[in-house]
Amino acid sequence: MPELLLNVENVTAGYAQDIDVLRDVSLQVHAGKVSGLIGLNGAGKSTVVKTICGFLSPKAGQVSFMGKPISGVAPHQLIDLGICCIPQESSLFPYLTVEENLLLPLQGRRKKFGGVIAQRFEEVLVAFPAVREKRRAQAGDLSGGQQKQVEFAKAWLQQPRMCLIDEPSIGLSPIMAEEVFSWIEKFTQSGMGILLIDHNVRRVVRMSDHVQVLSLGRITAAGKKEAFQGDLHEQVKQWLGLNF
Ligand SMILES: Nc1ncnc2c1ncn2[C@@H]1O[C@H](COP(=O)(O)OP(=O)(O)OP(=O)(O)O)[C@@H](O)[C@H]1O
Ligand SMILES: [Mg+2]
């Protein structure tokens, strides 16, 4: 059984005191596995990520990483636990160069990262043309697809145990989207656990070991990938209680 990394247990959370966006949400991420989270726009998928990363505090339930509660850990401390997030919105500083953005999270952490940084830096220069060609450009001047490459390069340099990846293919050309998904596979093969959110439901199911469906802030279906390989269109209608 692969190691349990993330354990979200019965979490209720929201932005306003009296409105719950997530209700009783439970999910897990294991080492070397992809845990997929799918749902309609506004279902609360990104809110799950924000709650795991400490931008929101659960009103009930618990979030643990490698057996320890992480509620109350500030977002910038997650890197020290081995958690990385590639958010739906850009996490890059637009007025810093690509190279500065890549190295910023590693500053003050040379001891931890020193050994393999040079090798990983070479790898990202080979894998991501935008990193190679635009390393001295301001990140804000890059296209959306190029910025996504920088986000993935940044995550790879941090050598996390787990990466939360929210809508990685949004706005990308099909070729670039495939590239991004192949990097998620590389992440997983290295032993990283992944929480994957993407509007490409078929792709998420194909890549995931375990899938959760979020509907109006609740997990309405969950199971191993095999349970999701029938008529996906029909299943999605059922999960969402839709007749169309
Ligand atoms: N900062 C915020 N303040 C208040 N409400 C918010 C905030 N961010 C999101 N919400 C609300 O929380 C609900 C869930 O939003 P969330 O962004 O988690 O959905 P999502 O499933 O990620 O959607 P999408 O597929 O469009 O990215 C929505 O009703 C949204 O309006
Ligand atoms: Mg979202």
Q: Which residue lies with its CA nearest to atom 26 of ligand 1?
A: 41
User: pLDDT tens digit string along 1-22?
Assistant: 789 999 999 999 999 988 999 9
pLDDT of 20 reads 94
Per-residue pLDDT averaged across 114-133, rounded? 82
pLDDT of 65 reads 97
Q: Which residue lies with its CA nearest to atom 16 of ligand 1?
A: 44
DSSP state string for 176-239 = HHHHHHHHHHHHHHTT-EEEEE-S-HHHHHHH-SEEEEEETTEEEEEEEGGGG-S-HHHHHHHH
Q: Are 82 and 160 in contact (CB under 8 A)?
A: yes
pLDDT of 113 reads 67
Per-residue pLDDT averaged across 112-137, rounded? 83
Per-residue pLDDT averaged across 189-204, rounded? 93
Per-residue pLDDT averaged across 71-98, rounded? 91
State how far the Cα of 163 lies from the Cα of 105, in Å rounded to an integer: 15
Q: Are 130 and 179 in contact (CB under 8 A)?
A: no
Tokens of 230: 């029938």
Domains annotated for the chain, with CATH where assigned, are 1-82+161-244 (3.40.50.300), 92-159 (no CATH)
Q: Which residues surround ligand 2, an ion (CB under 5 A)?
A: 45-46, 88
Residue identified by tokens 């931890």 is 112
Q: Which among 116, 117, 128 is positioned nearest to 152, based on CA atoms?
A: 128
- State in Å: Cα 13 to ligand 1 middle: 12
